[in-house]
Homo-oligomer: A and B are copies of this chain.
Amino acid sequence: MTAPMTLDDADNADAPAKPAGTQTLLRGLTLLECVAAGVGDVKGIAARLGTPRSTTHRMLTSLVAEGYLHHIPHKGYLLGSKLIQLGQKALEQRPLVAVARPRIEALARQTGDTVHLGVAEGDEVFYLDKIAGTRGLEMRSRAGLRMPLASTGIGKALMLGLDPARWAGLHARACPEESAAPATPADRPRPPPWPEFAARMADYAAWGWAFDLEENELGIRCVAAPVRDARGGVAGAISVASATPYMPDDRMRALGPLVRAAADAISCDLGWTAA
């Protein structure tokens, strides 16, 4: 931010030409992600990393010794328990998660539905926590999941804290194929066309909460509201989600103030003061 900055940064994408001084470390991390992606055999990993078997194997052994990978002798590699531990610690270190926990648990009990907590990360919403509802249905979301901002309730609540100028771009990013197939394919839901989307966002901004009407997952509707921190910025968002039959229009309307109240309570815990 000081003056002359010049080139680079901004939307540099992730160019391959970024020789930071830690090739070895980076390779090791890439290896972890490789295993996370389901590639568990030495050969496959070596191929994906472009390293010879020898080198690959050496890193693998180190990672296993440290507990980052789990090794099943002649079968392959899986992510190790150290990662579970660190992942959990990472969750605990976020003040937001710790603070929001009791509130969203209460909200889940109160509504009987599934409650999510998420933050914006880049162009996506990142799910930090989830309390399962008491209804029969299972939701296959999980902490650690990423989704386009504009296609989820939480994402739209998060967008309320962003510059409206970015809304159009984010909306576009959530629409897989803008062209062709004007008829409803029905199997892959998508956000409404831009003009309508913008109109709804305006409503949501006025209300202080947002809806998702099966735009992300068919059969799932949700009501979301943003959480703000001490500086007044949007620090995250929560949502109550359930199957459509449990979510008629009038319940959605009733849920709005409720979800917002819970979100505001978390905001207060974070030092936020209404303005």
Find the B residue at minimum CB distance from A60: B22
A25/B62 in contact, CB under 8 A: yes
**In the complex, which residues of chain B have a beta carbon less than 8 angstroms from the beta carbon of A28?**
22, 25, 28-29
Main secondary structure, interface of A, reads: helix
A79/B73 in contact, CB under 8 A: no
A81/B20 in contact, CB under 8 A: no
**Candidates B24, B90, B102; contact of A81 at CB < 8 Å:** B90
A88/B20 in contact, CB under 8 A: no
Interface string of A58-78 (1 = CB under 8 A from B): 110111011010001100001
Number of chain A interface residues as a range? 35 or more
Minimum distance in angstroms from A44 CB to a CB of chain B:
15
**In the complex, which residues of chain B have a beta carbon less than 8 angstroms from the beta carbon of A33?**
86
The answer to whether the Cβ of A211 comes within 8 Å of any Cβ in the partner chain is: no
**In the complex, which residues of chain B have a beta carbon less than 8 angstroms from the beta carbon of A27?**
25
Instruction: Kindly specify which of A137-145, A148-156, A186-194 makes contact with the partner chain.
Output: A137-145
A interface residue numbers (CB < 8 A to B) = 2, 18, 20-22, 24-29, 32-33, 36, 58-59, 61-63, 65-66, 68, 72-73, 78-81, 83-94, 102, 105, 109, 121, 126, 128, 132, 134, 138, 142-146
A-B contact pairs, 11 of them (CB 8 A): A21-B62, A24-B24, A25-B27, A25-B59, A28-B28, A36-B89, A79-B86, A79-B93, A85-B146, A92-B142, A109-B134
